[in-house]
Structures are given as C-alpha cells and as structure tokens.
Structure 1
Amino acid sequence: MGSEYTNFNLVTQIEAILYLKGKPTSCAEIEELTQAGEEEIESALIKLMSDYAHRPESALEVVETPAGYALQLRHCCQNLLENLVPADLNTATLRTLAAIALTNPILQSDLITVRGSGAYQHVQELLELGFIRKRRQAEGRSYWLEITDKFHQYFEIDQLPT
C-alpha cells in the first residue's frame, strides 16, 4: 500500500476497505490489506461497528455476515435504494414490459399468447418493482395489466404514442 494509506489509523483503513470492496470482506483479507494482526483487526472492527451504531442518523452500518464484514445501507433506508437505483431488468422482462406499455392495458392471457409462458415470471417481477399493476377482468378469468406512474417516472415518458 502507498505511504498515504498507511498514515491512516487502522479503523479508518478498515472503513475505507469495506467501502471500496462493496461486499463482505473477511478478517484474513483485511489483515492482508492492512498488514495488521488478527487481534488488532478484531479490536478495530469492534470500534468501527460501535462508532456506526452510535450514529443513529447515519444511513450506513457495519455488520458481520457469514462471508465477512460489510459496510452497508441501514435497513430503514432500503426504500431509497428501490427508488433511486435503476431496476435490473433482463432483456426478456423489458420486452414483456414494452408489450404491456404499447397495448396498455392488456389482458394477461393475450400477453402470454404474445410473449410465451415465461411472461408469467416477468409479470411477477414487474409487479414487485411497481412498473405495472394487475386487476381482475370483470367478466372472465384473466387479469388486466397496465403500466403505473412509476413506469412513466422511471423511463421519463409522459405519454406513449397511440
């Protein structure tokens, strides 16, 4: 490591490592990166965890997981993640969403005819993400699927062409 990095105290070094790694990091990895001993690492981790625990206004926390230690978003802030981080939709799910948006509303049975049985899973995923809503057909056994305001906001579409 560079000399600037080693000038930080161990707690700060570990905090930086956990932030930069972005995933759980084992004590062995932290030891290797900091060149500190196991007892020093454990003591510094306890201090770091305590520091975050005593900052209730912080959006972050340090937690121990089976895979190691992680700097992560507190559970109370997860709703921000869902609203700010783009949804990770695969191509097939995006195509299903496009089919719903272009017909809006569309009967689920018609969607399955067009997109195949895999669309059932896509519909479930899109419902969970809030891009579509589902309502029972007045007469019949299928459901109407339609896009939501979240769809318009996320894709920055005011109105689809008719």
Structure 2
Amino acid sequence: MSSVDSLTDLRLSTKLEAVLYLKSQALTLAKLTEYVGEERDDVEDALIELMQDYAQRDSALEIVETDQGYSLQLRERFNALVQTMIPADLGVGALRTLAAIALKGPILQTDLVDLRGSGVYQHVQELAEQGFVHKRRQANGRSFRLQVSDKFYQYFEVDELPKI
C-alpha cells in the first residue's frame, strides 16, 4: 500500500488540515476539493468542523477564511513571539520552504513547487541569495536540484538532518 493509499483512512478534516499546512497559503474551496478528491459539500462541512475544532482548542493555530480562501495560520496574539523567533530576513513561507528542502533534499524545484505551491520560486531565490540553499541546474536544463548549504547547518545549529 502506498502512502497516498493510506490517506483514504483519514478523516476529511484531517486531510484538509494537512493540505492547508503544506501549502501554507490561502486556498479556495475549489482547490481544496481538488486536492482531497472529495465532494464540495463534504469539504465545506469538514472545513467548518476543522474551524470549530481549532476555535475550541487552546492552540497557537487557527483556520481562517479570507477573500483568497481558507488558510491555517498562527493566531494574531503570537505575532510578538514570531518577531523574536524568526529572523526578520526570512518570512514564514520561506522558512517552510527551507524546511521542506532540508527534509526532502536534495529535491527538484519542480517537485518542491508541487509540494508547496508557486510561491516556492521566490522563496528559493531568496534562500539561495542568503546562502541557505544551493541551486544546481539539472543536465536536461529543465529544473534545479535544491539542497541546504553549510550555512543552514551553522545558522540553525543542526549537526545532521533526520533520515525519513
């Protein structure tokens, strides 16, 4: 059984939570429906369930609906903590992209876009400029192979990454 097959056993709200986390951007109901492969009404019901679940938890995260769609985000009351924990020169999206590269790398940029969305192009450029990521064009010239640099290990004080 593949890992995708094992997703069929999960609650729809849990799948939606995973999609919102991985994409780290607002997603329309239509996009969410496409990603989880379920009926629109079922997705809408599961989103409401998930939003209520987060509203009742004592959690740092929340699901919000914006003009662009639904997103999983840090509650506003944690903004001060974000400012102290995250370097000003790296945003949350870039950090999530960096984490994906660190955990999945080396990874093709096209695969990373499939995983995280088109915002990856800007994140990768920013991360490469700051020296956290190495970009190497593939022999076929169609994509870049990405992996974290020595600066990543030094900056985040990591000796080695977990094997997954």
For the aligned pair, the TM-score class normalised by the smaller chain equals 0.5 to 0.7
Three-state SS of the structure 2 residue aligned to 1:88 is coil
Shift of 1:6: 1.9
Query: Gapped runs of 5+ residues in structure 1?
Result: 90-162
Three-state SS of the structure 1 residue aligned to 2:25 is coil
Q: Which amino acid in the other structure matches residue 51 of structure 1?
A: D
TM-score, normalized by length of structure 1? 0.52
Specify the alignment match of 2:29 in structure 1: 27
Three-state SS of the structure 2 residue aligned to 1:80 is helix
Shift of 1:11: 0.4
TM-score, normalized by length of structure 2? 0.52
Mapped to 1, the partners of 2:30 and 2:46 lie a distance apart of 14
Mapped to 2, the partners of 1:5 and 1:84 lie a distance apart of 33
Specify the alignment match of 1:17 in structure 2: 19
Matched pairs, number: 88
Specify the alignment match of 1:83 in structure 2: 84
Specify the alignment match of 2:60 in structure 1: 59
Mapped to 2, the partners of 1:22 and 1:34 lie a distance apart of 16
Mapped to 2, the partners of 1:69 and 1:76 lie a distance apart of 19
What is the CA deviation profile of residues 88-134 of structure 1, one whole-angstrom value per residue up to 9, with x for unaligned ones?
28xxxxxxxxxxxxxxxxxxxxxxxxxxxxxxxxxxxxxxxxxxxxx
Q: Which amino acid in the other structure matches residue 24 of structure 1?
A: A
Mapped to 2, the partners of 1:45 and 1:86 lie a distance apart of 32
Three-state SS of the structure 2 residue aligned to 1:53 is helix
C-alpha RMSD over aligned residues: 1.4
Specify the alignment match of 1:121 in structure 2: none
- Residue identity (%): 44
Shift of 1:9: 1.0
Shift of 1:4: 1.3
Shift of 1:68: 0.7
Mapped to 1, the partners of 2:8 and 2:22 lie a distance apart of 16
Three-state SS of the structure 2 residue aligned to 1:83 is helix
Shift of 1:35: 1.0
Shift of 1:67: 0.7
Q: Which amino acid in the other structure matches residue 71 of structure 1?
A: L
Q: Which amino acid in the other structure matches residue 30 of structure 2?
A: A
Mapped to 2, the partners of 1:63 and 1:75 lie a distance apart of 11
Three-state SS of the structure 1 residue aligned to 2:33 is helix
Mapped to 1, the partners of 2:8 and 2:79 lie a distance apart of 34
Three-state SS of the structure 1 residue aligned to 2:43 is helix
Specify the alignment match of 1:45 in structure 2: 47
Shift of 1:2: 1.2
| Structure with higher RCO (Cα < 8 A, 6+ apart) | 2
Mapped to 2, the partners of 1:87 and 1:75 lie a distance apart of 17
